[in-house]
Amino acid sequence: MATLLQITCLSKSYGAQTILDNAELVINERQKIGVIGRNGAGKSTLFKIIVGTEEFDDGNVNIPDSTKIGYLTQHSEYGEDETVMEYLMRSSGKQDWECGKVAGSFQVKNEMLDAKVVSLAGGYQMRVKLIATLLKEPNLLLLDEPTNYLDLSTQILLEHFLKNYKGSILLISHDREFIKRTTNETIEIEHGKITLYPRPIEEYLLYKEEQLMHVERHNVKVEQKKKHLQKFVDRFGAKASKASQAQSKLKQIAKLKTIDVLHPLSTTTINIPRVVDKIGIALDLEDLEIGYSDRSVAKEINLDIERAQKIAVLGDNGQGKTTLLKTLAGELEKLSGNFKWGHNIKVAYYAQHIPASLNFDETVKSYLMRVSPADSSEQDVFKMAGNFLFKDEALKKRIPVLSGGEKARLCLAKILLQKNHVILLDEPTNHLDFETVEALAQALRESNVTVVFVSHNRTFVEIVANGIIEVKNSRVKRYIHNYEEYVYHLQRDIEEDLGIADEPKLNLGKEEKKALRMKIREAKKRLNFLERNVVKLKEEKTVLLEWFEKNFDKFSEEKTKRLSEIDETIDRNEKEWMELELELEVLT
């Protein structure tokens, strides 16, 4: 098997900070490797060294002439007036039919090939950059956080491509699920060293945990034996008759060595301060229309979110997910309709642009102390700061010198410290390693705050969400299945579009098709009735809950009975609704 890359004795430092220390790595043909490690461990630095955009201090990086590296970068390489096809042909040197073939595998085809790249939504621009990279036919792909800003549809397409890719892959990602689905070996960069484990990430983490437990058991035994020998020395060391034995015991003690724990497993735990428990509606949207002065993005939005729910806002890039969050946060004026927050609700909003505006001339520590609630202790602040990698000297850093990623983490630490009833999050995981992503997800799921969030990180959504809002084709509505089913149905649709679905479509006769259309029409009619009925019942429920909240010292048997009836009816309607949705999926 041919070697594509060999690194020996590689060292790299930034000032006093050592990133790589005599690191070693060999990559051969057809290896698919997930690269993991803490923020700042050196993952991106390693990639930049490999492609020659970053110098290193010592060592060797040997890339044979037969190795063709494809490196997906975040910056744009296309001209403002360049169409998709023009850019692909120019960057790859390939014919239009070759470009069109690869582009089609990422659902970029027909009139989209003639569109200007800059006119496409962000997710499709990223698809075009992926296509351009792949057209160069690399046999070693370096992908540094390729899922950042990619919608789920594009992730599924990329995942499908990588599974069938014949070359080698080095993939950095903070989404454990994406690594699991696309790689079968694992590299961890930690303490300046590169550890290659020839098994998938889950097996590596299990192995790592077992090794740590083995080391800890060994160290306990060593310490116990040292104490036993030391007791003998302390008791008999002064006696002439036992002096030689005491000296022998001292030599034994000197030989007993504990093993340094250089690779401790992450034990990050994020705790979000609890807010006062309340039942009822946190947010009610009625005929809401969102968008901008020159265009509507979505309208006729009717839904509500109950307190303590964790709602994922899903959909392709450019459909209006961020527009919805901006409107709810008050950063964007609604076009028509209404939305109303529950009584005395405090809302916090995290968006990608917010960290860039964080320029207070103070230290990380003083900023977090200033913005934390009055009843927060210094220990509370230090603990939250530490969860987002601000420890020791990092606490003394002044905000203007922080990187974009550090500012993003600081904003998240601030929001979680404050006792907000509702947290709106737009892509909160993009600057976090996957240990911190999962710790944040766990904290949000276990908290009693209401969370409405946009994220394309599958692991994060799977842990946090107990409800889904889908933004698609100018409509915003509840998706009644769980996230696993959402991903499954999206993947099935994409596979059918690519012509690789496992189940062929039914080949029906004329009468059978007519009967099927009638059945679908009746199912949709009933489904629309149920949707409207549930909306009306929830509106009535909101009125009742508001009455109970305002009249907490009164009891109404009639209202209590009606509330129970509404809950039962909603439950029945939603079950029937779900059955009809599933039936329609089978029929269509």
User: Residue 499 falls within a domain, yes or no?
Assistant: no
**What is the average per-residue pLDDT within 347-358?**
85
Better-predicted residue by pLDDT, 489 or 475: 475
Asked whether residue 405 falls in the same domain as residue 524, the answer is no
C-alpha to C-alpha distance for 583 and 587, rounded to whole angstroms: 6
User: Residue 229 falls within a domain, yes or no?
Assistant: no
Q: Alpha helix (H) ranges present in 237-387?
A: 243-255, 321-329, 364-371, 378-387
For residue 422, the model assigns a pLDDT of 96
**What is the average per-residue pLDDT within 463-473?**
94
Q: Mean pLDDT score of the chain, rounded to an integer?
A: 85
User: Residue 519 falls within a domain, yes or no?
Assistant: yes
Q: pLDDT tens digits, residue range 18-49?
A: 999 999 999 999 999 999 988 778 899 999 99
For residue 333, the model assigns a pLDDT of 95
Sign of CA dihedral 459, 463, 464, 465: positive
For residue 124, the model assigns a pLDDT of 82
Residue 503 scores a pLDDT above 50? no
Q: pLDDT tens digits, residue range 188-218?
A: 998 899 999 988 888 888 877 776 676 677 7
Asked whether residue 444 falls in the same domain as residue 553, the answer is no
User: Residue 109 falls within a domain, yes or no?
Assistant: yes
Residue 261 scores a pLDDT above 60? no
Structure tokens at 376: 């927060």
Asked whether residue 110 falls in the same domain as residue 161, the answer is yes
Q: Which structural domain range is residue 149 located in?
A: 3-203
For residue 264, what pLDDT band results from cuts at 50, 70 and 90? Answer: very low
**What is the average per-residue pLDDT within 424-435?**
87
Structure tokens at 432: 């976090």
Q: pLDDT tens digits, residue range 164-180?
A: 889 999 999 888 889 99
Which of 163, 181, 203 is the last residue in one of the domains?
203
Q: pLDDT tens digits, residue range 436-451?
A: 888 899 999 999 999 9
CATH number at 86 reads 3.40.50.300
User: Residue 48 falls within a domain, yes or no?
Assistant: yes
Asked whether residue 118 falls in the same domain as residue 16, the answer is yes
Asked whether residue 465 falls in the same domain as residue 352, the answer is yes
Number of domains in the chain: 3
Asked whether residue 406 falls in the same domain as residue 530, the answer is no
Amino acid in position 93: G
**215-249 exposure pattern, b = at least 16 Cβ within 10 A, e = fewer:** beeeeeeeeeebeebeebbeeeeeeeeeeeebeeb
Asked whether residue 9 falls in the same domain as residue 103, the answer is yes
Asked whether residue 521 falls in the same domain as residue 471, the answer is no
User: Residue 436 falls within a domain, yes or no?
Assistant: yes
Which of 58-67, 102-111, 314-323, 551-560 is the most confident on average? 58-67
